[in-house]
Amino acid sequence: MISPSIFRIFEFLSSKEKKFLLVSYIVLLGLISAPLIYFDFTEILYQFSRDHEDQQLDEFMLIAVVAVFLLSIYLIFIAASLVKRLLFTQAQKQDLKRSVEQTRHLVAMGKVLGGVSHSVNNHLLPMIALTDEVLEGLDPDSEAAKDLGVVRNAAIGAAKILKQLKNFSMQNMAVRETCDLDAALNHAIDFCEKIIPSSIFLYQEIDSRNVKVALSELSVEIVILNLISNAVDAIGGVPGRIGISLFPSEVPPEASDALKAYSSWVSLKVEDSGAGMSGEQIVKIFDPFYTTKSADKGTGLGLSETYGIIKAGGGYINVESVPGAGSTFTIQLPVLLYEDRLGHSRFTPL
């Protein structure tokens, strides 16, 4: 009933103009309807019709009334559709703005962390290698050797944390490794099934097969492990469920022009029945070292590492969550349809 071409006009209007149109439609509707009701127009029409029934004007009057009535219905539909479209567009704008701000924030943080990581690696090298040198000349059972062993292991532990930070700061690097996402996912899920508590039901729905993405199998396993580990912590010690699904998806609206060249995309969703997160927590969830858990439960690097890995694969990760109602992490990745003759992916850096 409503021509789609009408709404094409509205796409060129600003938010203010759309609001004005909407209000003016409602006012017009009121101006048309109010006199009809107030002056008992149907009674007037009936009387006019009785007085002029030999002039056939009453038929024309009836048609005019029907036309006005239909126009009113038509205007109501347009007004309702405009309201719906306006609300949806405003919600989209807010989401996009939030997404852009988060991306800028994380890119800047990535650059800072990259620099910090570089400097700290230089300081860790003497702690590890020079300790080795000193240990060469010591009795392995001596107190000094044991103490230096602790120093060395602490330095190696610090290097591992930096490696996770490297993954976060590598967001914009070209990645040459590829894997079949569904195969890597199945492998990761098999591993996770062995380590999650029995009170948690893990279910999966894999609708995409032989999907090649610009991530290594190890990267996929790290991502799944990080997300499931967070889901298990969010659920706590109570019975719960974690769902993993893989299905084809559309190009993300926030994708850059370069990534929009990839016509085929896949979505990987991990949802849990855990405690959920507030809006404030969602904004910070991918920040390195941000955690709502106690210090012995983790370093707060899992999700930032996940973010870095997904960005390096040309993908996007979003989270939806409601406090008390669980969280859903959605990852969208471009699908590699073919490779060049050197076996490298066609993926190009952002």
Q: Site for another protein (CB under 8 A): which residue of 26, 61, 107, 155? A: 155
Number of Cβ within 10 Å of residue 291's Cβ equals 19
When asked if residue 130 is in the footprint of another protein (CB under 8 A), the reply is: yes
Chain-centroid distance of CA 84 in Å reads 23
When asked if residue 260 is in the footprint of another protein (CB under 8 A), the reply is: no
When asked if residue 346 is in the footprint of another protein (CB under 8 A), the reply is: no
> Reduced to 3 states, what is the DSSP secondary structure of residue 194?
helix
What are the strands, taking DSSP E only, across 231-307? 240-249, 265-272
Residues 36-55 that bind another protein (CB under 8 A): none
Q: 321 with 276: CB under 8 angstroms?
A: yes
When asked if residue 294 is in the footprint of another protein (CB under 8 A), the reply is: no
**What is the C-alpha to C-alpha distance for residues 206 and 16, in angstroms, rounded to an integer?**
44
- Residue 117 or 291: which CB sits closer to another protein? 117
Alpha carbon separation from 305 to 4, 23, 250, 289 (Å, rounded): 45, 49, 25, 10
14 contacts: CB under 8 Å, gap ≥ 6:
none
Residues 173-192 that bind another protein (CB under 8 A): 173-176
> What are the tokens at 6?
């009408």
Q: Site for another protein (CB under 8 A): which residue of 166, 187, 241, 284? A: 166
- Residue 170 or 196: which CB sits closer to another protein? 170
Backbone angles phi, psi at 327, to 5 degrees: -135, 155
Q: 334 with 264: CB under 8 angstroms?
A: yes
Residue 269's DSSP bridge partners are: 245, 330
- Residue 14 or 119: which CB sits closer to another protein? 119
When asked if residue 122 is in the footprint of another protein (CB under 8 A), the reply is: yes
Options 55-63, 163-171, 179-187, 289-297: segment touching another protein (CB under 8 A): 163-171
**What is the C-alpha to C-alpha distance for residues 273 and 277, in angstroms, rounded to an integer?**
11
Binding mask 80-119 for another protein (x = CB under 8 A): ---------------------------------xxx-xxx
When asked if residue 127 is in the footprint of another protein (CB under 8 A), the reply is: yes
When asked if residue 132 is in the footprint of another protein (CB under 8 A), the reply is: yes
Q: Site for another protein (CB under 8 A): which residue of 23, 70, 125, 322? A: 125
> What are the tokens at 328?
């859903």
- Residue 118 or 260: which CB sits closer to another protein? 118
Minimum distance of another protein from residue 139's CB (angstroms): 18
In the complex, the residues that contact another protein under the rule CB under 8 A are: 113-115, 117-119, 121-130, 132-133, 136, 155, 159, 162, 166, 169-170, 173-176
